[in-house]
Structure 1
């Protein structure tokens, strides 16, 4: 019985050591990923991943309600590409804000929030439509139609989602974690963005179709 108890104790100890080692490696990987050297690549990777996941979840819903028959992975790749543009812009935008608006007082947070909504949000929406339009038939024409018919829909949604979320972002989080937080919150918004982007009902012209989608 004593030998059995000793064996169990050693197994528990070995398990704890392995678990501790795994946690240590994970902490080290996170620290390196969010270091100044690799932060840009980390932010872009996060944006690409969550933009793609958001589109897959939206397609899952569309399949479940019979709006499409199967997953369109080209469409997901296009949305992932838009995540590259989003990640690059967000990475630099937050650094610029923190460089010129220093501090976490209520006034500073309010200034960042207004600049984010009035300047950066429109830029992001236009960049989104532009980056996805690169893969479409008649890119320039389709881009103009999309902006004209869908920009306000997404911009109104921006004002509902981001002001409360960005208060937390600007007040509590250091710059290096803002894109991660941004993309975590935006997963639900990315689903909605994909829905708006690929909604035929919002298109002003039925002849503008996305390559590879129904």
Structure 2
């Protein structure tokens, strides 16, 4: 987190003396350059993961499932976004390095690898990064994966294949994580619901009592 802060301060210093339009262009150019792309992707992932949780909490407060906002929970979701952002950044670089081209065959190969290999890794990382911030992290991680992995993986197959076709066919590597996070804002709301929703917790508790 400190490295991200230092990086953005450097970017701000480099563009401070430019005009407004030039500043915006410079921000985009610098932020999505190879030098700073990792920090940009992580920042985007943290921000939109936190926003997705806040949207879900807004709904829960409105429906009286929560009395007030839990900003600690939002910080935890942002932390999970950092882990996911790092993985996505490197995953897309690996895919584009070894599967070159934008033919239909190449896009299908990337799509299948993304869904069959990377999606499960992402879901496990999501639960694992959050478990680190909870009591009994090992037990919590095992329970979360056992009870909720299939639910999120099924949702992945509903959301990402059509979205990733556009991603792999039209976008350059440096914009893939930005696109992913834009599309996944709604999905992040759902992941927060699966992670924290009362229905899931109640079902899990009932299952344990019956076992």
| Number of aligned residue pairs | 188
| 1:157 CA displacement | 0.4
What is the SS of the residue equivalent to 1:103?
coil
Please report how far the alpha carbon of residue 205 of structure 1 lies from its aligned counterpart in structure 2 after TM superposition: 3.4
Q: Where does residue 23 of structure 2 map in the other structure?
A: 25
Q: Could you state the TM-score of these two structures normalised by the residue count of structure 2? A: 0.87
- Which residue matches 1:87? 85
Secondary structure of the corresponding residue to residue 186 of structure 1:
helix
1:98 and 2:96 correspond: yes
Whole-angstrom distance in 2 between the partners of 1:57 and 1:159? 23
Instruction: Give the drift of 1:162.
Output: 0.2
Unmatched tracts of structure 2, length 5 or more: 1-17
CA distance in 2, matches of 1:28, 1:81: 28
Identify which of 134, 137, 152 aligns with 2:135.
137
Unmatched tracts of structure 1, length 5 or more: 1-19, 209-214
**Cα displacement string for residues 5-35 of structure 1 (whole angstroms, at most 9, x for unaligned residues):** xxxxxxxxxxxxxxx9312210111100000
CA distance in 2, matches of 1:181, 1:156: 21
CA distance in 2, matches of 1:170, 1:67: 39
Q: 2 CA distance for matches of 1:69 and 1:201?
A: 17
Report the secondary structure of 2:205's partner residue.
coil
Runs of 4+ in 1 over 4 A off after TM superposition: none
For residues 41 and 135 of structure 2, the distance between their equivalents in structure 1, rounded to whole angstroms, comes to: 30
> What residue number does 1:190 align with?
188
Match for residue 62 of structure 1?
Answer: 60
Residues in 1 aligned to 2:69 and 2:200: alpha-carbon distance in whole angstroms: 21
Q: How does 1:1-214 map to 2 (within 5 A)?
A: 21-203=19-201, 204-205=204-205
Over aligned residues, Cα RMSD in angstroms?
Answer: 1.4
- Report the Cα offset of residue 202 of structure 1: 1.8
Instruction: Indicate the SS of the match to 1:128.
Output: helix
Q: Deviations over 1:106-151 (max 9, x none)?
A: 0000000000000000000000000001111111101111101100
* Counterpart secondary structure, 1:205: helix
Separation (CA, whole Å) in 2 of partners of 1:153 and 1:39: 32
Structure 1 length as normaliser, TM-score? 0.86
Q: Which residue of 1 aligns with 2:3?
A: none
